Amino acid sequence: MSDNPQIRDVLAYVEARENELGEQAGQLRASIEDLTARLGELDAETENLRITRKTLLNIPAPKPADDPPRPEAPDHPAYQQILAAFTDTGRPMRARDIYQVLDLPILPKHTEGIRSKLKRLVTRGILTEPEPGLFTQPRT
């Protein structure tokens, strides 16, 4: 070392400053290592999310559940009139009620004909019979 006191003071300052800067650089390197590790974790999670999104977008949409086929009513106009009467009133009815809704004369032989048509519609699942002689449309 130099014998000059001024140079010694300057060298001591330079050495102290060098140590201080080395310590700060070490802290920054440690911070950089921490940040690099955190950045790697974030990149990995981002990649996982991209893969998840891609996977979800490639899943085919579920096919809609097929509704059970609706039973078909016979083509005869009498059946169409009976069903129209149920649709218009929206309430359970007996054979006599159908005649009143359709504004037809109530005759015993006709009432039995309507009753048999109503029973046929029950058999096909178009109407239900919650109690004997009372007919209604099934709830959907």
In a domain, 70, yes or no: no
State which H helix or E strand residue 136 sits in: strand 134-136
In a domain, 72, yes or no: no
Reported pTM:
0.49
Name the domain boundary from 31, 65, 99. Answer: 65
What is the DSSP code (8-state) at residue 131? Answer: E
Q: Tell me whether strands 134-136 and 128-131 are parallel, antiparallel or unpaired.
A: antiparallel
C-alpha 22/C-alpha 12 separation (Å) is: 15
C-alpha 98/C-alpha 82 separation (Å) is: 7
Number of structural domains in the chain: 2
Enter the tokens of residue 106: 């109530």
Contacts 24+ apart (CB under 8 A), 95-98: 95/133, 95/135
Lowest mean pLDDT among 99-103, 123-127, 136-140: 136-140
Angle between helices 108-123 and 77-89 (to 10 degrees): 80
Domain that holds residue 28: 1-65
Lowest mean pLDDT among 2-6, 12-16, 38-42, 63-67: 63-67
Sign of CA dihedral 78, 82, 87, 88: positive
CATH code for position 127 = 1.10.10
Give pLDDT tens digits for 85-115: 888 888 999 988 888 888 888 787 778 888 8
Domain shared by 14 and 46, yes or no: yes
The pLDDT of residue 65 is above 60: yes
Domain shared by 36 and 61, yes or no: yes
Domain shared by 6 and 58, yes or no: yes
Residue with tokens 């790697």: 40
